[in-house]
Structure 1
Amino acid sequence: MTRQAYSFVRTFAPQPPRELCVDRHYLLCASAGALRLEAQGQAWLLPPARAALIEAGRAITVSMPQAATTASVLFDPAFAPPPLAPLTVFDLTPLARALVAECGGWGESEEPLNPYAEALFAALAAVAWRLAEHPSPVVVPAGRTPLLRRALALTERRLAEQVRFEDIAGEIGLAPRSLARRFEDETGLTWRAVLRRMRIMRAVEELAAGDMPVTKIAFAVGYTSLSAFNAAFRELTGRSPTEYRASFRP
């Protein structure tokens, strides 16, 4: 019988999308690089200093556009209650980071946790479950139908360009009005709102990848004005790009 909770750290090379499903509640924390997570028609970004809480038995899709190092903590469903949502991405506090690091001394084993370790994992679960009540706003729709997923993929491939909605609609064979309705019906957002979120998500990936200047990142994701980029970034994340990058490095 595997212990009530355990932890491990792994480093991954860039990887294409793959399905992940485990029989334990899964706390996935990024310490370097960034991961993309997809479930229930939405996609999240997991950069450093963020965590994803995944309910036991829930299948999600994970991709790694760049090399990444993660710390994972798995909780037996009998040890920790079900999370409020199947998948939630949220910011880690200094306390949560310290607990994740301290729990790293207990890997998978047949031996039960000692009282100190059990108390540590219980404290981490209590903190993580509470933090998950305040999810990250950096999320974009993944699309429910093949047609909308194609429109989203075309949009994402052209983030650095001055992409036009009419061109996307034309390439997938729909009138702009029809595609606009599909966006509203499937995502609850306009195409332009989705484009803005995609650009900010790509910017977060670049911020996590290294030390590229913020101005270059702004231009690389399709903004022609640094002030417009900063305003859009702050509107979605509540921080400036520089502040967001600083939060990766405790």
Structure 2
Amino acid sequence: MHRPAYSFVRSFPATPANDFQVDRHYLLCASTGALRLEAEGATWLLPPARAALITAGRPIRISIPQPVTTSSVLFDTNFVPPPPAPLTVFDLTPLARALVAECGLCATEDQPPSRYAESVLDALAAVTWKLAEQPSPVVVPTGRSPELRRALHLTEQRLAEQLTFEELAAEVGLAPRSLARRFEDECDMTWRATLRRMRILRAIEELAAGDTPVTKIAYAVGYTSLSAFNAAFRQLTTRSPTEYRASFRP
């Protein structure tokens, strides 16, 4: 029986990056843990309390750095309008989270469709399509050239170290001025701004993983003071690390 939309909940172990594509518009939410999504030259992090809206037929890469439980809703392309962008990651409101949970109870793939389920799915689509108009700023470019992609990889691998830009340039075989131009041209931001975003992304992963103290997370991602970490975190997410972790809880 054809369904205009349906919901399912699944758990996955930590998994390397894999290509993913479906023929329906896909609303993906993490209930526990976090996922990484890569598409169109950028990387997004998807912890609890956030969602990704993926347009039907749009290929993306998904990696799972830690075990995760996801809540997903697949919408028929004739049931809802196209999403506002090929891939959008955004914060869920309490209403949106409640609707996702309700869909998991009344609109699963093995249940016969009902008018109530369709009304809940309709409401969820209306709310999340509207939220997708305000995407999250926590995104990191992936780069195009081999040198910049290697520089980004090395930066991510050494977040806890006090790596200098000159050391990084030497490791990828470019002069510092040439590497700086690559960051400006391919990432539209400086290396320092990219490093700050990577540190906040890693911190969000750790906040989603459990109850590790915020101070320990700050040092683990390369900050030497809690105040500097809190300020950088709030600047990018508009919330403190403690407030952000609290948003993951039901």
Report the TM-score when normalising by structure 1: 0.97
Q: SS in structure 1 opposite 2:215?
A: helix
Deviates more, 1:193-202 or 1:87-96: 87-96
User: Aligned partners of 1:51, 1:180: CA distance in 2, in Å?
Assistant: 33
- RMSD over aligned Cα atoms: 1.1
User: Aligned partners of 2:147, 2:58: CA distance in 1, in Å?
Assistant: 25
User: Aligned partners of 1:17, 1:58: CA distance in 2, in Å?
Assistant: 16
Q: Which residue of 2 is the match for residue 2 of structure 1? A: 2
Q: Which residue of 2 is the match for residue 54 of structure 1? A: 54
CA contact (8 A) 1:2 1:110 kept: no
Q: Which residue of 2 is the match for residue 238 of structure 1? A: 238
Q: Which residue of 2 is the match for residue 154 of structure 1? A: 154
Q: Which residue of 1 is the match for residue 108 of structure 2? A: 107
* Residues 1:221 and 2:232 aligned together: no
Q: SS in structure 2 opposite 1:16?
A: strand
Among all aligned residue pairs of Structure 1 and Structure 2, give the percentage whose two residues are the same amino acid: 74
Structure 1's consecutive aligned runs of 4 or more residues displaced over 3 angstroms after TM superposition are none
Structure 1 residue identity aligned to 2:245? R
User: Aligned partners of 1:13, 1:220: CA distance in 2, in Å?
Assistant: 23
Structure 2 residue identity aligned to 1:68? V
Deviates more, 1:175-184 or 1:113-122: 113-122
Q: SS in structure 1 opposite 2:137?
A: coil
Q: Which residue of 1 is the match for residue 206 of structure 2? A: 206
Structure 2 residue identity aligned to 1:247? S
Cα distance, 1:209 vs. partner?
Answer: 0.5
Matches within 5 A, 1:48-127: 48-104=48-104, 105-108=106-109, 113-127=113-127
Report the TM-score when normalising by structure 2: 0.97
* Residues 1:22 and 2:22 aligned together: yes
User: Aligned partners of 1:110, 1:82: CA distance in 2, in Å?
Assistant: 25
Residue ranges of structure 1 left out of the alignment (5+ in a row)? none
Structure 1 residue identity aligned to 2:46? L
Q: What CA deviation, in whole Å up to 9, does each residue of 1:48-72 have, x standing for no partner?
A: 1110000000001100100000000
User: Aligned partners of 1:91, 1:204: CA distance in 2, in Å?
Assistant: 13
Q: What CA deviation, in whole Å up to 9, does each residue of 1:205-229 have, x standing for no partner?
A: 0000111111100000000011111
Cα distance, 1:151 vs. partner?
Answer: 0.7
Q: SS in structure 2 opposite 1:84?
A: coil
User: Aligned partners of 2:7, 2:65: CA distance in 1, in Å?
Assistant: 24
How many correspondences in the alignment?
A: 249
CA contact (8 A) 1:2 1:108 kept: no
Structure 2 residue identity aligned to 1:95? L
